[in-house]
Amino acid sequence: MSSTSEQLSSQSTYRINDKVLTMATLNPHIANIEYAVRGPIVIRAAEIENELKKGVPKPFKQVIRANIGDCHACGQKPLTFIRQVVALCTYPDLMDNPHFNDDAKQRARRILDDCRGHSIGSYSDSIGIDVVRHDVARYISERDGGIPSNPDDIFLSTGASEGIKAVMKLLVTGRDSPIAGIMLPVPVYPLYTALLAEFNTYPILYYLNEEKNWSLDTEELERALNLAKPHCIPRALVVINPGNPTGQVLKEENIKKIIQFAKRNNIFLLADEVYQHNIYGKDSEFHSFKKVMKSMGGEYEKMELASFMSTSKGYMGECGYRGGYCELINIDPEVKYHLLKSLSAKLCPSVTGQAAMGVVVNPPRPGEPSYRQFISEKDHVLGELKEKAQLTSRLLNEIEGITCNEVEGAMYAFPRIWLPPKAIEAAKEKNMEPDSMYCTELLEATGICVVPGSGFGQKPGTYHFRMTILPSVQELQELLRLFAVFHESFMIKYQ
């Protein structure tokens, strides 16, 4: 009997009470998935919250969750116009309510008129509500200075994450082919490493340059690609701009060099641009990969590109609605057909999320009754985020043993911790990453929950953590004060 037959035979002799799914039979690619943003330290934070509710004594009164970019959970108020339009879509009887402006009602009617049965409780097309996709195309064209965008190149998704997952699936090689390779930045948002583990795809890791404010050097791309070629078929390059967890904003010239690298090596570009509204640096400006690629002309205009956007970030912070979109540029028509087939198997993305995205890409215009309030609320959110970005990097850099690049964009700081040798040795004895030990002790001493840099990847021998800048200014100041006190005691403990 062949070894394969023996394995199949042994697996088929279950007793009646045996479980079909055990760790021995679980899909090994699922077991390999890790997601640090909701990892062990965050699980411990939830346990501590329950202990506090039961009256267990702690040196603090509450857990401060600075681990995830959840704006509303940190106290940001929803924008009135977004909530009004979604409310009108959800409960159309409110159309008679005089407290809702006509521009909100007009947008809600437009969305509902494109829904079957005039209800967002019905399924939409698999690629999303048609009028919302048209509004996305117009938004992209206006954002990029008039460069055309085709609604047929756009599909809506349940958050940007599902769009990213749908496109990455296309890049996986077949069973009889060498494994596909996807280039990922380090540090990287853990969604990407989780997807590569799930899809059994080879991670081609390239390091961002911390000494140059997390810039992306094409020489580093070449190094990573050449090192990976014997192990996989390189298929795609992921770029997160503005950066998560690193908070950098790529310069236009840097983007051009990345595009040239992708063209030279026949690499598909995946542009994660969900933080495109979150720009704080004095000399920083968002440049979409599509706009830069089109500006380069010639053969560059024919390159394949997928770009992603979300309702969860920006000034909106509407994480729970799970709204997102993807724009696909220069995709082979037959490939697009199979993508649409794949999307249809999931029926449709969240229609409530689609409605929220419809408001993001079609906000009030000058002269409309909701415009002044909308702009006031939007500017307030982005103004506070800018203030908190500057405050966070400044206060962190005032702490001995901590260095932090300027938070130019996104919603996070990724400071480096210069750990003493005794702390590194103590972590090894506990079989822990040094920055994980640091973050665990921080949580237990202060209630501050951050994510260790090892969960995002980092250069060997360096240690970091990611924290959000989302708490209020007052809460952020208190968080950083508590952190400074902890850090000083930690350094004394392990000196």
Q: For 300-335, how does the pLDDT look when each residue is reduced to its tens digit (9 = 90+)?
A: 999 999 999 999 999 999 998 999 999 999 998 888
Dihedral, 57, 58, 59, 61 alpha carbons, nearest 10: -100
Q: What pTM was estimated for this model as a whole?
A: 0.88
Model pLDDT, residue 210 = 95
Ranges of each domain in the chain = 36-75+374-493, 123-360
pLDDT tens digits along 6-64? 555 555 555 555 776 666 666 666 656 555 555 788 888 889 989 998 999 888 888 88
Model pLDDT, residue 25 = 61
- Give the integer Cα–Cα distance in Å for 88 and 80: 12
In the block, tokens 């940190």 appear at 74
Q: Please name which of 246, 295, 302, 296 lies closest in space to residue 272, comparing C-alpha atoms.
A: 246
Answer yes or no: are the C-beta atoms of 321 and 356 closer than 8 Å.
Answer: yes
Provide the percentage of residues in the chain whose pLDDT is more than 90: 69
What does the DSSP 8-state code read for residue 344?
H
CATH class, range 123-360: alpha beta
CA angle 176, 182, 187 (to 5 degrees): 145
- Give the integer Cα–Cα distance in Å for 184 and 164: 13
Model pLDDT, residue 290 = 96
What does the DSSP 8-state code read for residue 179?
P
pLDDT tens digits along 265-299? 999 999 999 999 999 988 899 999 999 999 999 99
Structure tokens given for 278 = 């979150």
Q: Please name which of 200, 115, 205 lies closest in space to residue 156, comparing C-alpha atoms.
A: 115
Model pLDDT, residue 2 = 55
Model pLDDT, residue 347 = 85
Structure tokens given for 221 = 């791309």
Q: What is the radius of gyration, based on Cα positions, of the chain?
A: 24
Residue ranges of the chain with per-residue pLDDT less than 50: none
Give the number of other Cβ atoms within 10 Å of residue 92's Cβ: 16
Taking domain 36-75+374-493, whether its CATH number is 3.30.1330.10 is answered by no
Model pLDDT, residue 96 = 93
Structure tokens given for 402 = 């901590």
